[in-house]
Amino acid sequence: MNLAGQLRPIVAALAVLVAAVSTARAEEANDYPTSARAEYVYGCMKANGETRAAIEQCSCSIDVVASIVTYERYVTAETALSMSQVRGNLGVQFRTSEQANSAVNDLRRAQAEAEVRCF
């Protein structure tokens, strides 16, 4: 068997491996439900104007955030931000929680990166 014949199965196996890795990365990047993405874009547009350009920028922004922060971490951060506005002991728990603050900081860093890339 010549060299080309020996390399053919190896090249085929590598092609399958690359396709599997690409699919896995695409699934990781798109693990946010459509409703969460839509809610983010809606809020972003309210803050940045309701124009066609804002749709593009806000859609880009959630894509960047999703590529940096897992959906689970995003939900933790959003919950912490929402609950930290509650008055009293419950709100204090969310404002002073190390886990909540860490998730919020991760989200803010991702949003800052999105601001640089998309706006």
Looking at residue 112, what is its pLDDT?
98
Give the pLDDT confidence of 68-118 residue by residue, as tens digits. 999 999 999 999 999 999 998 888 888 889 999 999 999 999 999 999 999
Among all chains, which residue has been given the structure tokens 């939900």? Answer: 75
Supply the DSSP symbol for 67: H
Looking at residue 118, what is its pLDDT?
97
Return the domain boundaries, the chain. 32-118
- Burial class of residue 19 in the structure, from the number of CB atoms within 10 Å of its CB (0-12 exposed, 13-18 middle, 19+ buried): exposed
Higher pLDDT, 51 or 28: 51
Mean pLDDT across the chain? 84
74 Cβ contact partners less than 8 Å away, ≥ 6 residues apart: 32, 36, 65, 66, 107
Looking at residue 93, what is its pLDDT?
86
Q: Report whether 71 contacts 57 (CB < 8 A).
A: no
Region 23-40: what's the mean pLDDT? 76
- What are the DSSP E strand ranges found in 6-100? none
Looking at residue 20, what is its pLDDT?
47
Looking at residue 18, what is its pLDDT?
46
